Amino acid sequence: MESTDAPAASPEGQTEQPVVVVCIGMAGSGKTTFMQRINAHLHAKKEPPYVVNLDPAVTHSPFQSNIDIRDSVNYKKVMEEYNLGPNGGIMTSLNLFATKVDQVLGLLEKRAAPDPENPDRKPIKHVLVDTPGQIEVFVWSASGSILLDSLASSFPTVLAYIIDTPRTASTSTFMSNMLYACSILYKTKLPMIVVFNKTDVKDASFVKEWMTDYEAFQEALNNDENSNAFGGQEGSGSGSGYMGSLLNSMSLMLEEFYSHLSVVSVSSLQGTGIDDFFEAVKEKADEFKREYQPERDRRRTEREESKKKQREKELDKMMKGMSMSGTASTSAVGDIKAEGDDEDVEALSPDEDSDDELDDEQDREGLQARYDAAMLHQQEESTSADASFAKYLRTQHG
């Protein structure tokens, strides 16, 4: 009897790939608590995830990690050895860890496949990745791009952007978060879920309304302007008018961006909205396979073709540089022949061989003639010198 716990299979008969959920968010947005909540939620459903921690500076983690950057990189020693500050230490630690990305992918691929030696162990369905609270250090660094691209090249990858809902009550803070989310989306080119966290403190219905109803955002914007929320002088119209016009323009620009976002509201403390989050994860994973994966494959193919053309160009340039004359440019490289071919076995014909020997003989004769002439000249000079010396002696003693 077959086990009902077997992983779902694709139409091609292959095991369904796990979904990688990369959690990013500003410091204080509740990202760590959110990671703990979704981890516990999957454990409760008997689908334990594979957890990867990429925050080297965290001192205490409320959840267990299968792969932890702290096990291979010592954050404090990195700061001491390279004389770095906190952000520089985090970035350098990520750079060092990025050199081991192939090992990370190897472990993930091993856990994503069935184990013949342990058939009771189910392949993982989710990979949860926790990132540093200094969001710019991860998103905009080379090591962060390497890690994200490597994960996305092997598995469906989804970004979960965690936002502190109580802090987005003002239109300016809300717009700042949306612009940051937009920049991350276009930087990573990965599907994104915007998670409004801490809804137990403040309900997120107002931000959802701002994202779907332009007039509602305009009304909130006017209220902030009238209450002097933007720092302009009372009654002067300076400052607040500029900010209001800017936010108004930004909201129009982001209207298309909102239509491609999945938005969920959760409470990491109470656990509400977590099911909605995983429904959004499933939808974004399907979107990744349908829209993002073909585009990434196309760009990868273009890069490989570009590299191939560049290598051919460099090879052609090198061969031209190696040629010493127009007639000898191709003499060093010939067609490869299988052993036993009789064509062109002799590099030189007998006539060419005889000509070379004749030239060598003439060269030797010429060299000998020049040597004999030089010796004769030297002897004549020596005889003349002796005669002159003898004449000098006779003169002195005569």
Q: Closest by alpha carbon to 78, among 66, 89, 70, 94?
A: 89
Task: Report the C-alpha dihedral over residues 70, 72, 75, 79, rounded to 10 degrees.
Answer: 180
103-112 b/e (C-beta count within 10 Å ≥ 16 → b): ebbeebeebb
Range from 59-63, 117-121, 248-252, 313-317 that averages highest in pLDDT = 59-63
Mean per-residue pLDDT for 109-135? 90
What pLDDT, in 10s, does the model give residues 327-366? 444 433 333 334 444 444 444 444 444 455 555 555 556 5
Mean per-residue pLDDT for 71-81? 93
145 vs 362, more confident: 145
Choose the weakest-confidence range: 51-65, 92-106, 207-221, 243-257. 243-257
| C-alpha span between 24 and 92 (Å, rounded) | 19
pLDDT at 144 over 80: yes
Query: Do the beta carbons of residue 81 and residue 96 sit within 8 Å?
Result: no
377 vs 127, more confident: 127
pLDDT at 55 over 70: yes
Choose the weakest-confidence range: 109-118, 192-201, 384-393. 384-393
- Residue 74, classified by CB atoms within 10 Å of its CB into exposed (0-12), middle (13-18) or buried (19+), is middle
- Answering whether pTM is above 0.85, one says no
pLDDT at 284 over 90: yes
Query: Do the beta carbons of residue 294 and residue 233 sit within 8 Å?
Result: no
